[in-house]
Each structure stands twice: as structure tokens, then as C-alpha cells.
A and B are shown apart, each in its own frame.
Chain A
Amino acid sequence: MEALILTIIATSIPLLLAAAGELIAEKSGVLNLGVEGMMLSGAVGALGAVLWLENPYYGIVAGALSGVLMASIFSVFTINFMTNQVATGLGLTIFATGLTGLAGAPLVGKTIPSLPKIEIFLLSDIPLIGSILFKQDFVAYLSIAIIVFISFFLKYSKSGIILRAVGDDHQSAHSVGYPVKKIRWYATCFGGMCAGIGGAYIPLVLTPHWSEGMTAGRGWIALALVVFASWIPWRIIVGALIFGGITIAQLVGQARGWPIPSQLLSMMPYIATIIALTMISGRLSKNNSVVPSSLGKPFFGNQ
């Protein structure tokens, strides 16, 4: 039971991180559909760095940097060259799939050491809860810290309120004198960093070797999670755990030989995503205030 909960948490962390980053980008008005691509880059960056420097912590840094690099490409085109965000995001995922396939080819067949668990003094000795909550790896703690950080940032910090203003009405924010493009650049790169770390987590903890397209649609599920969470940070945790749970449930089902074909079980996370989107979207369309109004719209002014 304990092992099961731990796997569910581990499975949900990449989703959680990527969705948290995308939430910030979307709050600033940027819809980046390249999450899948940024995660892939994070994964390959982490693998390369760990194989080279032989320390899993460099994998986190490399993953973050790879994600930021991809987000910068996206920003140059969508923010500076004012290209269509949907098409550019798709392009980023296609680009990153090719790039990581090329960069990952020499890494095939090599295995990396996993990220160590950090026990928090005394707390980790609490039965059950201790080993679940206080005997996790660095990224797991970091992901919770990020959720807490963005909750406070969006709600209480001045920068967070400006960021939301830019996402809700870039024209007015611009008239008041806020640098719309700069803020969107930062938000997108933060999104890239989170997606990169989320991607890095996959080889660092879940499967310690490279395979082409190893993110397997997690970036897209993360995008759906942001909608599912109605752009409220703490709900991402709930959503990510639900999807982690569904993913693990179908794996357990396959392992225990449930009388359902394995392919139909494997469909569950994707079908669940569609169902979740459907349930939430119906409610969102009645209550439109949570969706950033400028989401996906390029800002044509200068700066």
C-alpha cells in the first residue's frame, strides 16, 4: 500500500511541475502547447548531464536549462515575432521531438543512477505518513514548494498581480506602463524551467534510460491539468495525483492480469483527460472569469 502511494506520487510529479509552469505562462496570457517538447528536452538534457557529470543533481539543473532554452525559442517567435501561439507551440513539440531523438541517439542503452531520497530529521520516522511525505527526493519537495510559491506569488505579490493583469488585458496593462513582452518572456521561461525539471524527473526517477518520445503525452496531460485546475495552483496537486493514480491503476491492472485487454487499460489516462476536460469546461463556460482573457492572443505593441 505504502509502495503504491509512493509510485502514484512519483508518477504525478512530472505532471504537477509541468502544469504549474504552464499555469504561470497562461496567467500571463501565453498558451504554450510546447510543454511536451520542453519536457522531452528536459529528459534528454538530464540524461546527458548525469551521464557526463555522474551526479543526479546536475540532471535537475540541466533539465531546467533545457526547458528554458526551448521556452526561449517559443518566446522569440510568439512574443517578439508575434506568431500564432497554437501553431508555434505545436512546432516546438515537433522540433523538440526531432532534436531530442537526434541528441538522445548516443544515449540509448545507458542507465543513470536515480535521484536519492532525502529523509527529513525525525519527521520521516512517523509511521506511514513519514515515509510518504518526508522521505522523498529533492524534486518532490521542490514541486510542492513551487505550488506554494506560485499560489502566494499570484495572490499576494505585486509582480503576481501585474502578471495577471498582463494576462487579462494586455492592452490596458501596456497603457499603464507595464512591459507586456518582458513579463511574458519571464513567465514563459518559468514555464519552460518547470516543464524541463518535470521532464528531467522521468529519467531521474521513473525510467532511468532514454527512449524516443519517452514523455508519452505527459506534456499534453499537463496542459489539460491546467484547465482541470481552473488556473488555481493547489488544484493542480489534486489533478496530478488523480492522473498519477489512474496511470498506476492501469499498470497494476495489467500486472495482476485483470480480464481487460492491456491496450484498453492503457487508454485510461487519455480518456480520463477527455472526461475531466469535459466536466470542467462545461462549468468554465458559465463562469468565464477564471480564464485569462488575453490567453493565446499575441500582443502587437512594442515592448
Chain B
Amino acid sequence: MISFIPRDKVSKNWIIIAPILSIVFTIFFGLLIFTFLGYNPLETLYQIFVSPFSRIDRISDILVKACPLIIIGTGLMLCFKSNVWNIGAEGQFIMGALLAGFVALSFPNIESKFFLLITILAGFIGGALWAFIPAILKTKLNVNEILVSLMLVYVAMLFIDFIVRGPLRDPMSFGFPLSKPYPDGALINKIPFPGIGFLGQLHYGIFFVILLIPISWIFINKTLGGFKINVLGSAPQAAKFAGFKQNSITITVLLLSGGLAGVAGVIEVSANIGQLQPEVSFGYGFTAIIVAFLGRLNPVGILFAGIIIATVKLGADNAQMTMGIPKVVTGLFEGILLFFLLTGETLQKYKIKWSEGKK
């Protein structure tokens, strides 16, 4: 018989140990499932966790893939910290990319890179507007934001499909559902390294991440806004007594996280695709939920979590090419990882006690 005894204070060690143990357990259980389904576990392990580090350009591809995950994850952190469950970042990502794409394609000859500031702002607005729907429904009419934000993902996917096959289709695309290419001013370039050239797809978009991490850290830890979010999440009653306006916090975090997801969408499309197409996201918005949790709802943690999850994603791509394992398999690892991370959260607050026999 196992029982849980509350700890006197939150265990500091667990905060560090829990994510590491979770990853170890996840790998163990993942391999168990692979073996059970008849795949070679060691080769799978190598492909998913080691092969992404095998070449320098692959390492830079990890950073490229981690970029949207970290940006979206940081936004989701604000929501989850204040107990607002935005699970529609995927849709906000798409709408951000779409609005920015619309702006970019409206100025076909622009070359100045300052134009990027405008498209990124457009992306932020697109994502934020999409998140404003669950925000306003939640605060005004008490509608569950989980279901609304998720339903809007499907709507956004269908909407971009419609736009790219309809109004924004390039007549020169030979029937492919693609928009015209973006003007130079709306493209994010790859970073040239003197003497080496380009490192994989590594692009200037990562500077946004480099800026975002410290800014969000300061916001969460040093500002009144961040303080309110922390209190609302950890002690809702206290927040009420302190007179914090729950509704305005809910709206703010949803707008910020939607906006950031939108910016991630702009960066992804402007750096890696260069035009609009029916699929722009590949599940980043959902994966970022895992990133936010793996990062313990903390900007620095999210930075590392984004890199770890991006590694697994790339590894899964490799495993698909070399071993024929469907790449949705990353979901398997992400799910198990989330289960163990959440268990770790319980174990921070409770000690396990084994007792003989039934109580």
C-alpha cells in the first residue's frame, strides 16, 4: 500500500531531479513500447536521441526547430502559470503567419529588412486576435477556454487552406496551393559564418529567442504583472483578496501567448518557407505545451526544454527515413514525458510512504 505524506516545504532537490528522472523514465518506457511493437530499441534510441547531434549542421537544425517551440512555450507559460488553459496555440500560430503573410504579399517589391518589424507585428496581432476569442468568451460568458481554443485550431487550419487555395493562390504556381513568394523585405535570412558559410538552416530568427528569454524572465520575476500571474496561479484566493482583476489577467495572458504564437508563425514561414502554403505549422503549437511543462513554466527551463524536444522531433524525422517508424511517434515520448513530469510535481509536495498490507 502506497500513501502520500505532505512535505513540510517544497523539496528543492526535486525541482532539478524531477525533469531529469522524467526523461530517463520516458526513454525507458518508450523503448519498452518499441521493443513490444517489434522495432530494434537500440537503433531507435540512436536515431532519435543521438543522430541529431552527429553533424554540426544538424545541431544548428535543432536550434532552428527549437525556435518556434521556445517562443510559443514562453507564451503558454504565462497562461499555464495563471491557470488559463490555452491549448490552441497551433491555431494562433497559423493565424499569425497568415496575417503577416497577407501584409508581406501586399508589398511585393519591398526590400528593406525593417519591413520585418511590420510583418512580425502583424503576426503578433493575428495570433492575439485569434486568442482574443477564447479570452472574451471565457471572461464574459464563462465559456471553457480549453474547448474554444482547440476548436479554433481546426477552424484556422481550414481557413489557411481556403486562403492559400483561393484568394492568395499564386496564378503562376501551376495548380499547387501556394501563395506568391514573399518579397525580400519579409524574408529572414540565414546567418553567414565567416569561413564556414551557412550552418544548416540557422537563421536570424534565433535572435528573437535570445531577446525573449531574458525579457520574459524579468517580466515573470521582477514586475508587478508577473507577480500577479504567479499569485493568481498558486493562490487564487489570495489574488482575490489582494483585489487582482482575474479577468484582465486572463485576457492579458491569452493575448500575449496568442501573440507570441503568431510571431513564431511569422518567423517559421519567413525563415524556412518564404511563402504561404496549406501546412505551415507541423504541430508546433501542441508540442509547445510539452515544452512549457518540461521547462517547469520557467523561461530558462523552456529554453532547454525546447532544445530537447526539438532534438527528439529531428530524431524522429531521421527514424522515419532510416527505419520507417512513423514520425508521429514523438507524441508517444511527449505524452509519457508529460505524465512523469506531472508526477514529479506531486512528489515535490508529497513524500511516498510504503506501508505493509491494507489499511
Known contacts A86-B146, A263-B159; A102/B329 CB under 8 A: yes
Q: Contact check, B144 vs A277: say whether CB atoms are below 8 A apart.
A: yes
Q: Which residues of B contact A270 (CB under 8 A)?
A: 151-152, 154-155
Stretch at the interface among A89-97, A123-131, A158-166: A89-97
A90-B153 Cα distance, complex, nearest whole Å:
15
Q: Which residue in chain B gives the minimum CB-CB distance to A282? A: B141
Known contacts A101-B331, A227-B144, A278-B141; A264/B3 CB under 8 A: no
Please, what's the 1-or-0 string for A129-156, where 1 marks a CB less than 8 Å from any CB in chain B? Answer: 0000000000000000000000000000
Stretch at the interface among B10-18, B118-126, B189-197, B340-348: B340-348
A105-B323 Cα distance, complex, nearest whole Å:
13
Q: Which residues of B contact A91 (CB under 8 A)?
A: 290, 334-335, 338-339, 342
B182 proximal to A (CB < 8 A): no
Please, what's the 1-or-0 string for A252-280, where 1 marks a CB less than 8 Å from any CB in chain B? Answer: 00000000010110110011011001100
Q: Contact check, A303 vs B359: say whether CB atoms are below 8 A apart.
A: yes
B244 proximal to A (CB < 8 A): no
Chain A contacts with B in 277-294, Cβ cutoff 8 A: 277-278, 281-282, 284-285
A281-B150 Cα distance, complex, nearest whole Å:
17
B293 proximal to A (CB < 8 A): yes
Smallest CB–CB gap between A78 and chain B, Å?
9
Q: Which residue in chain A gives the minimum CB-CB distance to B85? A: A86
Q: Contact check, B159 vs A278: say whether CB atoms are below 8 A apart.
A: no
A102-B155 Cα distance, complex, nearest whole Å:
27
Known contacts A105-B326, A274-B148; A94/B334 CB under 8 A: yes
A173 proximal to B (CB < 8 A): no
Known contacts A95-B332, A98-B333, A282-B142; A87/B154 CB under 8 A: no
Chain A: interface residue count, which band?
35 or more
A285-B332 Cα distance, complex, nearest whole Å:
37
Q: Contact check, B328 vs A102: say whether CB atoms are below 8 A apart.
A: yes
Q: Which residue in chain A gives the minimum CB-CB distance to B140? A: A282
Chain A contacts with B in 216-243, Cβ cutoff 8 A: 217, 220, 223-224, 227
The number of residues on chain B lying at the interface, defined by a beta carbon within 8 Å of a beta carbon of chain A, is: 52
Known contacts A87-B293, A88-B339; A82/B162 CB under 8 A: no
Chain B contacts with A in 1-23, Cβ cutoff 8 A: 2-4, 6
Q: Contact check, A90 vs B339: say whether CB atoms are below 8 A apart.
A: no
Interface of chain A: mostly helix, strand, loop or mixed: helix
Q: Which residues of B contact A274 (CB under 8 A)?
A: 133, 137, 143, 147-148, 151-152
Q: Contact check, B328 vs A101: say whether CB atoms are below 8 A apart.
A: yes
Q: Contact check, A102 vs B158: say whether CB atoms are below 8 A apart.
A: no
Q: Which residue in chain B gives the minimum CB-CB distance to A216? A: B154
A206 proximal to B (CB < 8 A): no
Q: Contact check, B338 vs A90: say whether CB atoms are below 8 A apart.
A: yes
Q: Contact check, A264 vs B328: say whether CB atoms are below 8 A apart.
A: no
Q: Which residues of B contact A73 (CB under 8 A)?
A: 339
A175 proximal to B (CB < 8 A): no
Q: Which residues of A contact B37 (CB under 8 A)?
A: 102-103
B330 proximal to A (CB < 8 A): yes
A90-B342 Cα distance, complex, nearest whole Å:
12
Known contacts A263-B158, A278-B137, A278-B143; A95/B334 CB under 8 A: yes
Q: Contact check, A77 vs B147: say whether CB atoms are below 8 A apart.
A: no
Q: Which residues of A contact B332 (CB under 8 A)?
A: 95, 98-99, 102
A227-B6 Cα distance, complex, nearest whole Å:
34
Q: Which residues of A contact B343 (CB under 8 A)?
A: 77, 81, 83
A217-B153 Cα distance, complex, nearest whole Å:
10
A105-B137 Cα distance, complex, nearest whole Å:
40
Please, what's the 1-or-0 string for B250-293, where 1 marks a CB less than 8 Å from any CB in chain A? Answer: 00000000000000000000000000000000000010011001
A157 proximal to B (CB < 8 A): no
Q: Contact check, B338 vs A277: say whether CB atoms are below 8 A apart.
A: no
B103 proximal to A (CB < 8 A): no
B45 proximal to A (CB < 8 A): no
A71 proximal to B (CB < 8 A): no
A160-B14 Cα distance, complex, nearest whole Å:
40
Q: Contact check, A88 vs B338: say whether CB atoms are below 8 A apart.
A: yes
Besides A77-B343, A281-B137, 12 other CB < 8 A contacts? Answer: A82-B346, A94-B290, A96-B335, A99-B33, A99-B331, A217-B154, A220-B147, A220-B150, A261-B166, A271-B155, A278-B141, A285-B142
The 25 listed contacts between A and B (C-beta, < 8 Å) are A82-B4, A83-B343, A83-B345, A84-B345, A87-B342, A88-B338, A90-B87, A90-B289, A91-B334, A91-B342, A95-B335, A98-B335, A99-B332, A101-B328, A102-B329, A212-B326, A217-B151, A263-B158, A263-B165, A267-B158, A274-B147, A277-B137, A278-B141, A281-B141, A302-B359
Seen from chain B, the residues whose Cβ lies within 8 Å of a Cβ on chain A are 2-4, 6, 33, 37, 85, 87, 133, 137, 141-144, 146-148, 150-152, 154-155, 158-159, 161-162, 165-166, 286, 289-290, 293, 324-326, 328-336, 338-339, 342-343, 345-346, 350, 359
Seen from chain A, the residues whose Cβ lies within 8 Å of a Cβ on chain B are 33, 73, 77, 80-84, 86-88, 90-99, 101-103, 105, 212, 217, 220, 223-224, 227, 261, 263-264, 266-267, 270-271, 273-274, 277-278, 281-282, 284-285, 300, 302-303
6 A-B pairs closest in CB distance: A95-B335, A98-B331, A101-B328, A98-B332, A91-B338, A83-B342
